[in-house]
C-alpha cells in the first residue's frame, strides 16, 4: 500500500462494494436499476452487476454464510430486497392488514390489452373488448398500473401504457417477460382498427 | 359439425330448448357476468364445445339474439349497441349460411365474408386477451403476497436531505387545491354515430312487395337500388327469402352469379301476411 | 428425516429461526423487543435472543460469511436493522440526490388534497387524483408535511393529515385559514368517488 491509499477518497474506495450496495438497498423503497445503484455507490456498472450477483448468491445460501430470510430480486427494472418467499405467510400474519382489492375480470382483461398493445387509446381498447372501458381505465390509473403516455396531436386521444409499478406487481422485470400471445392477434387487429376508426 | 337434417334435429333441439329455458331464469340475474358481447359469444361457443372457427352459426346466433332481448332498454345504451353490432353480424353470417354455396360472389357477399372474418378475428383476439388475463390475475395475486422492504428513512438520514424550498402562499395553495380537485374527466367520444339505425324486415318487405306487384318482373338489383344502408339491403334480401317461403314470388337465375330476376306469383296474398313475415328473426 | 417431518407443519418448523427473524426484521419500521419478535416467529424468548445474537455476529462479519453493509442494533429496548455507520455519508449523499429541494407539482397537488380532505386515506387521495400516490405520500411524510393520524379500525387503512410544518410554510395559524374551496370540493369529489368505486 502506498501513502495515497490513506487519503479519504482512497479509504472510501477500500470499503467493499457489496457492503455499500447493501447500505443503499436497505434504505430504498422501490427497485433501483444497476445504473442508479452504480451512481449511488460510485462504481462502474459491470462491477456493480457482479457485486449484486454475489449478494444474490450469498442471500440464497450459495456463499460462505447461511441462507438469509430475505432475498434480492430484480423486479420492475431494478433490484430490491424482499422477504424470502418461504416467510411471506409469517410476515403477512405479523403485519396483518387486508389484501388490496382484487381487480375485476374486466380490469384484468383491459390491463392485458394495454400491456400488449401499448401505446393504445381507450377507444382502441374498447374495440378489442367490445365494451366501454372508461371506468376500468380509471381504476387502473388509480392503482398506478397504467399511465397516460402522450396525447395524439391530431385526434387528442390519450395513449396509455403500463408502468414500472405494474411490472413490480406482476413480479417481472420487463415487458419482455409477459407470456407470448397468439400470433393471430396482429392479423385480426390491423384490419379491425381501420374499420372501427371510421 | 353434426348434420342438422330433419330426422336428427328434433331430439337435440328439444334438449336444448330445455337447457335454454333453464338458463333463461338464471340468465337475467347473471347477465352482468357477461362482460360484453364477445364474452357472451365465447360463453355460448364454449357451452356447445364448438371451435370458434367452425361455429354452428344458427345455434349460437339464436341464443345470442335471445340473450340480447334480455338486455332490455334500461341497460347502458353503449353496451347494448355493441351487442347489436355483433348480433347483426351474426345474422348476416346466418343468412349467408342459408344460401347455396357459391351462388353469391358479388360485392355484398364479399362484404359479408369480410364481416365474418372480422368478427372471428375480433373474437380470437378477445379470447387471446381473456386467456392471458388469467396469467395476469395469477401473477398479481402471487406478487401481492410478497413483501418488499419499504421502510421509512431514518431520522438521521432524513435530516440530511436538502431543506425544502417553499414558495406557495396560502392563496396559491387554495388555487392549487382547486386544480387538484377538478374532476379529471376522461374525455369521451360518443359511440352513437357507430350504430346503424334498426331496420325492420316487415317494413322492407312491404316495399319489396309493392315493387314486385308493380311490374312483370324485377331484378334484385332494382329492388335494392338506392338503398344506402347495408342493413336495408340485408333486410330486403331477407324479405325476398321469406316471400319465397310463402310462395309469393318465383325467381330465375340463368347462370350462377347471374342476374336474379324476381316475379310476383302469389295466389292468395293479403297484406295481413306482412305482419307475420320474418317472425323467425324476432326469436 | 422421519415421516412426520414431511407434513406441512413439520416442514414449517424446520425453517431456521434466524431466517424467520430476518424476514420480520426486513419489514419493520420501529425497533421490536425480543418478546415481540418471539411472538412474531412463534419461538421462546431465549431461543430468539440467541438467534438475534448470532445474526448480530454474522452481520458484523464474525460468522462464516462476509460483513454486511447493515447491522442489527438494539435501540430503546428493541431490535432493528440499521445502515452500518460507515455508510452514513454514502446514504446521505444518495438521499440528498434523490430528494429535490422543491416539491413536484404532483406532490403539491396531493398535499392540497390531503389538506382539504383530512383525515383521508391514501386510496381516497388516489381516487381523487386518479393516479397512484404511494411514493408521493412517502415523500410528504419524509418532509414532515403530513403525518399518520390514525388507523381505521375496520379496514386498517391509515388516515393522513397535515402538520404544523405545513401551516408554517403557508404562513397561517390554523387550517381554518386555508382559502375556502368548498363548493367545488363537494361537487367534484362526490360524483368522482362513485365512478371510481366501480
Distance CA B264, CA C34 (A): 99
Q: Give the pLDDT confidence score for residue C93 in this predicted structure.
A: 87
With CB atoms and an 8 Å threshold, state whether C26 touches A70.
Answer: yes
Q: Give the pLDDT confidence score for residue B211 in this predicted structure.
A: 84
Q: Give the pLDDT confidence score for residue B47 in this predicted structure.
A: 76
With CB atoms and an 8 Å threshold, state whether A131 touches B151.
Answer: no
**Could you read off the pLDDT of A97-118 as tens digits, one per residue?**
666 678 888 899 999 999 999 9
Bigger pLDDT: B90 or A179? Answer: A179
Question: Which position has the grid cell 407443519?
Answer: C9
**Could you read off the pLDDT of C96-107 as tens digits, one per residue?**
877 677 888 888
Residues 63..92 of C with a Cβ closer than 8 Å to A: which? 63-70, 81-84, 86-87, 90-91
Distance CA C130, CA B51 (A): 41
Distance CA C179, CA C48 (A): 55
Hey, how many other C-beta atoms are within 10 angstroms of the C-beta on C3? 7
**Could you read off the pLDDT of C5-15 as tens digits, one per residue?**
344 444 444 67
Query: Is the confidence at residue B187, as pLDDT, over 60?
Result: no
Q: Does C175 touch chain A (CB under 8 A)?
A: no
With CB atoms and an 8 Å threshold, state whether C141 touches B181.
Answer: no
With CB atoms and an 8 Å threshold, state whether C94 touches A58.
Answer: no
Q: Which chains touch B (3 or more CB pairs under 8 A)?
A: A, C
Mean pLDDT of A80-96: 91
Q: CA dist C3 to B30, C8, C10, C12, C195, Å? A: 48, 11, 10, 14, 55
Q: Give the pLDDT confidence score for residue B167 in this predicted structure.
A: 83
Q: Does B279 touch chain A (CB under 8 A)?
A: no
Query: Which three cell numbers, joined as nine digits, stand for B150?
Result: 419499504
With CB atoms and an 8 Å threshold, state whether B157 touches C177.
Answer: no
Look over chain B and give the mean of its residue pLDDT values, rounded to a whole number: 72
**Could you read off the pLDDT of A115-173 as tens digits, one per residue?**
999 999 998 898 888 777 888 898 888 788 999 999 888 888 899 999 998 999 999 99
Phi, psi (deg, nearest 5) at residue B214: -85, -10
Q: Does A158 touch chain C (CB under 8 A)?
A: no
Q: Give the pLDDT confidence score for residue A99 in this predicted structure.
A: 62
Distance CA B61, CA B65 (A): 6
Q: Please, which residues have CB within 8 angstroms of residue C192's CB and are 6 or more apart in sequence?
A: B183, B184, C127, C128
Hey, how many other C-beta atoms are within 10 angstroms of the C-beta on A95? 13
Q: Give the pLDDT confidence score for residue A161 in this predicted structure.
A: 95
With CB atoms and an 8 Å threshold, state whether C156 touches A84.
Answer: no
**Could you read off the pLDDT of C153-197 as tens digits, one per residue?**
887 788 999 999 899 888 888 888 888 876 545 433 443 443 333
Q: Give the pLDDT confidence score for residue B154 in this predicted structure.
A: 80
- Integer-rounded Cα Rg, in Å, for chain B is 28
Query: Which three cell numbers, joined as nine digits, stand for B116?
Result: 365474418
With CB atoms and an 8 Å threshold, state whether C95 touches B153.
Answer: yes
User: pLDDT-based confidence at B75, cuts 50/70/90?
Assistant: low
Give B261's strand partners: B219, B252
Q: CA dist B159 to B156, C84, C92, Å? A: 6, 17, 9
Which residue on chain C is closest to B154 by alpha carbon? C82
Q: Give the pLDDT confidence score for residue C190 in this predicted structure.
A: 41
Write out the H or E segment, with its range, that includes residue A73: strand A70-75
Q: Which of C82, C181, C192 sits opposite B183 (nearest CB)?
A: C192
**Could you read off the pLDDT of C123-139 as tens digits, one per residue?**
888 878 777 788 888 88
User: pLDDT-based confidence at B98, cuts 50/70/90?
Assistant: low
% of chain A beyond a pLDDT of 70: 82
The conformation of residue B152, written as its DSSP 8-state character, comes to P
Distance CA A104, CA C180 (A): 38
With CB atoms and an 8 Å threshold, state whether B139 touches A170.
Answer: yes
Distance CA A139, CA C194 (A): 12
**Confidence (pTM):** 0.65
Most confident range (mean pLDDT) of A127-136, B233-242, C64-73 is C64-73
Q: Give the pLDDT confidence score for residue B123 in this predicted structure.
A: 83
Query: Is the confidence at residue B6, as pLDDT, over 50?
Result: no
ipTM of the complex as predicted: 0.75
Q: Give the pLDDT confidence score for residue C55 in this predicted structure.
A: 95
Q: Give the pLDDT confidence score for residue A27 in this predicted structure.
A: 92
Pairs across B and C, CB distance < 8 A: 108
**Could you read off the pLDDT of A23-65 as tens digits, one per residue?**
999 999 889 999 999 999 999 999 999 999 999 999 999 988 8
Mean pLDDT of B202-211: 83
Q: Identify each DSSP E strand in chain B by its residue range.
A: 218-219, 249-252, 261-264
Q: Give the pLDDT confidence score for residue B70 in this predicted structure.
A: 72
Q: Give the pLDDT confidence score for residue B135 in this predicted structure.
A: 92
Q: Does C18 touch chain A (CB under 8 A)?
A: yes
Q: Does B264 touch chain A (CB under 8 A)?
A: no
Pairs across A and B, CB distance < 8 A: 145
Q: Which of C23, C86, C130 sits opposite A15 (nearest CB)?
A: C86
Please choose, from the candidates B180, B174, B190, the residue with its C-alpha nearest in 3D space to the C-alpha of residue C192: B180
Bigger pLDDT: C65 or C192? Answer: C65
Query: Is the confidence at residue B33, as pLDDT, over 50?
Result: yes
Q: Are A117 and A126 in contact (CB under 8 A)?
A: no
Look over chain C and give the mean of its residue pLDDT values, rounded to a whole number: 82
The conformation of residue B148, written as its DSSP 8-state character, comes to B
Using an 8 Å CB-CB cutoff, list chain A residues near C132. 141-145, 163, 165
Amino acid at each position: 500500500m502506498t501513502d495515497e491509499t490513506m487519503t479519504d477518497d482512497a479509504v472510501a474506495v477500500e470499503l467493499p462494494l457489496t457492503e455499500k450496495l447493501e447500505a443503499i438497498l436497505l434504505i430504498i423503497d422501490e427497485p433501483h436499476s444497476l445504473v442508479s445503484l452504480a451512481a449511488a455507490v460510485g462504481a462502474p456498472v459491470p462491477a456493480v452487476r457482479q457485486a449484486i450477483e454475489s449478494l444474490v448468491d450469498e442471500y440464497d445460501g450459495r456463499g460462505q454464510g447461511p441462507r438469509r430470510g430475505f432475498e434480492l430480486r430484480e423486479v420492475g427494472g431494478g433490484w430490491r430486497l424482499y422477504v424470502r418467499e418461504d416467510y411471506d405467510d409469517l410476515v403477512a400474519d405479523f403485519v396483518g392488514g387486508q389484501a388490496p382489492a382484487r381487480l375485476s375480470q374486466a380490469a384484468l382483461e383491459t390491463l392485458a390489452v394495454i400491456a400488449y398493445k401499448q401505446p393504445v387509446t381507450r377507444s382502441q381498447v374498447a374495440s378489442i373488448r367490445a365494451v366501454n372501458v372508461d371506468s376500468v381505465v380509471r381504476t387502473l390509473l388509480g392503482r398506478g398500473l397504467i399511465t397516460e403516455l402522450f396525447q395524439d396531436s391530431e385526434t387528442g386521444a390519450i395513449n396509455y401504457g403500463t408502468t414500472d409499478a405494474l411490472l413490480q406487481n406482476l413480479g417481472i422485470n420487463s415487458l419482455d417477460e409477459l407470456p407470448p400471445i397468439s400470433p393471430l392477434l396482429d392479423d385480426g387487429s390491423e384490419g379491425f382498427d381501420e374499420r372501427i376508426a371510421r | 359439425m353434426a348434420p342438422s337434417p330433419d330426422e336428427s334435429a328434433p331430439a337435440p333441439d328439444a334438449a336444448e330448448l330445455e337447457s335454454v329455458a333453464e338458463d333463461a331464469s338464471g340468465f337475467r340475474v347473471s347477465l352482468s357476468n357477461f362482460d360484453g358481447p364477445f364474452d357472451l359469444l365465447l360463453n355460448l361457443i364454449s357451452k356447445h364445445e364448438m371451435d370458434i372457427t367452425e361455429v354452428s352459426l344458427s345455434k349460437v346466433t339464436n341464443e345470442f339474439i335471445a340473450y340480447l332481448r334480455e338486455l332490455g332498454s334500461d341497460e347502458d345504451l353503449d353496451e347494448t349497441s355493441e351487442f347489436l353490432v355483433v348480433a347483426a353480424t351474426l345474422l348476416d353470417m346466418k343468412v349467408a349460411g342459408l344460401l347455396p354455396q357459391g351462388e353469391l360472389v358479388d360485392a355484398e357477399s364479399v362484404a359479408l365474408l369480410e364481416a365474418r372474418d372480422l368478427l372471428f378475428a375480433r373474437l380470437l383476439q378477445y379470447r387471446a386477451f381473456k386467456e392471458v388475463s388469467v396469467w395476469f390475475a395469477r401473477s398479481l395475486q402471487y406478487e401481492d403476497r410478497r413483501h418488499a422492504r419499504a421502510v421509512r428513512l431514518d431520522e438521521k438520514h432524513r435530516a440530511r436531505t436538502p431543506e425544502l424550498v417553499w414558495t406557495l402562499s396560502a392563496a396559491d395553495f387554495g388555487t392549487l387545491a382547486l386544480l387538484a380537485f377538478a374532476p379529471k374527466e376522461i374525455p369521451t367520444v360518443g359511440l352513437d354515430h357507430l350504430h346503424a339505425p334498426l331496420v325492420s324486415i316487415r317494413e322492407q318487405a312491404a316495399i319489396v312487395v309493392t315493387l314486385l306487384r308493380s311490374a312483370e318482373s324485377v331484378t334484385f338489383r332494382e329492388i335494392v337500388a338506392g338503398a344506402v344502408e347495408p342493413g336495408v339491403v340485408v333486410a330486403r334480401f331477407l324479405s325476398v327469402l321469406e316471400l319465397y317461403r310463402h310462395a309469393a314470388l318465383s325467381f330465375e337465375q340463368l347462370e350462377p352469379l347471374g342476374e336474379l330476376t324476381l316475379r310476383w306469383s302469389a295466389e292468395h296474398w293479403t297484406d295481413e301476411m306482412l305482419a307475420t313475415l320474418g317472425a323467425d328473426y324476432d326469436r
